[in-house]
Structure 1
Amino acid sequence: MKDGSTSTIPLPSAKRHKPRIKRWESPIAGYLFISPWLVGLLGLTLYPIVQSLYYSFTDFSLLEKPNWVGLSNYNKILTSDDSFIQAVKVTFLYVAASTPLRLIAALFVAILLAKNVKGMSAYRTAIYFPSLIGGSIAVSILWKNIFGKEGFINNILAEFGIQGAGWVTNPDTALWTLVLLVGWQFGSAMVVFLAGLKQIPGDLYEASSVDGAGKVRQFFRITLPMLSPTIYFNTVMGIIGAFQMFTPAMIITNGGPANSTYVYSLYLYERAFSRLQMGYASGLAWIMLLIIVASTALIFLTSKYWVFYEDEGRKRR
């Protein structure tokens, strides 16, 4: 303008938009996304658990309505069921033998596979593969043929003039063939050990080598303490899995010979589906759950004496 005053050119006013409603702002969206999992959890897990607890206090045969009997099933199981005692003995022996064997095999192979060698990924895949099919019926049938009277093992022994036994038909050896089978299925534990080994700082081994420590001393002074949380995890998972072993005992030996492989899960299955005593079988299932919880709790309580956590710089208290 002529008087030197400044003027401002009015700008077009910005369009005012109404705030849009944010999509999926409601928490209902989250529940919709996880609804398949929720349906599975409620309908296929929680409901059967609660239902089995109810059935354990009833006389239920699957063909008639449940008849409430209170603690009668538990009283009979714990006081007058000889098959229950036999199944518990065999199962505890199996757990005590198979869990350490599986851990030792997994750790030994993991240490070998932790080396940086060309083509190591292929070796790891090949060694892990048996664990993918190890629990199948086909492998159980194959295992039965391998350890049969005319099986592969006895054919090898015959080449050296040794007459082999019927490994799966002999009460003294039948259970140990099942132990060897689970010892062969160490792939999942091996993968966990491999991850744990990669977390151990290499400086610890270098410093110990300077101090004159050999491989054996490094293993017991460095590797095992640093892997103790991994060992703890694999031990718990191995025990839980061993208590639930069913398919090999069912296919290979069917609980025999002389009930030497009559594990708990096989006895529970027989009560539920052969004798149709679903209420009694539900009581057996809950006793098994308590046994597993007690075993896990025992390991947890003793872990403070042997599990070492690096971030705390001390043993767990």
Structure 2
Amino acid sequence: MTTVASAPAAASTASLRRRSGRRRVLWVLVLAVAVAVICVLSVTFGNRTVDASQIIAGLTGDLTTTDAAAVARRVPRTILALLVGASLAVAGAVMQGVTRNPLADPQILGINGGASLAVVTGLAFFGVTSALGYIWLAMLGAALAALFVYTIGSLGRGGASPLKLALAGAATAVAFTSLISAILLPRIDVMSVFRFWQIGGVGGATTQNILLVLPFLAVGMVICVASAAALNALALGDDLATGLGQKVRTARLLSALGAVILCGAATAVAGPIGFVGLIVPHVCRLLVGPDHRWLLPVSALVGAGLLTVADVVGRVIARPQEVEVGVVTALIGAPFFIAIVRRQKMRAL
């Protein structure tokens, strides 16, 4: 009787899984098409709007017109926006999984600030001027900042709770910002180089920079995606994850390593861009659920599209000037952050 009774339930569960799988695949296809459309918009709009013929001329290397030359400059910018957006979104999803903290974000946890401080320190005091040097410094700064915030957030009763990590990260980010200002103010030469970089933007994208940072982003992305199953186990709690055969400490370290590499490399080429890693994972969970095997690739698509759209908006709303993409994401992300905090507070009551 038990076997007969359980057969319809098993069939129903299998049917739900198939429908869920089809829905996830559909979302991936829709998002992939949306990102492709956004890329076209990014190449089309800016200080001047170009038509299809000028886009083709710019892509084929025919730079005889101003519009075609503008297209050629926008292509690396679009590629960098896609890469940085995807990297920050995946890093945010991984951090939220590792810390089980819905407020985790490279900017809020001070990781972007640590990367920025390391780059500015290297430039001001050690004469580092190469793009590759910036990347290595940014990753080192991001790693040290992540370790510092987690250590501070783990002090006291209850260990590293979401609220303590958020507070430690926010305080650390403010401290890093103050230190960066203290380094830059007496050094006009350094300030002129990093004045716009500090805000966060992709306007300085070049093919050379993209090729330099691409291997680091690829390694970080592979580590994060390979950690998806471990992140699913960690979401169940350390005790249950250990019971399922997961090495909790190793899983956390590897996942965090991938996120730090993504944050550091992205910050080195685009500056400290905030809130992408906070917003995107929450939106993607509504689309495909909490399974990190789906959440991470979907977050990459949504993050790439979001940052590219923010860059286009920044180019269009203040023409002929530009608003850096870091400002646009902050305007979008700040209300979202407040909403998440209020939601978590209501749950705690």
> Structures share a fold, TM > 0.5?
no
Report the TM-score, using the length of structure 1 for normalisation: 0.31
More helix by share: 2
Larger Rg: 1
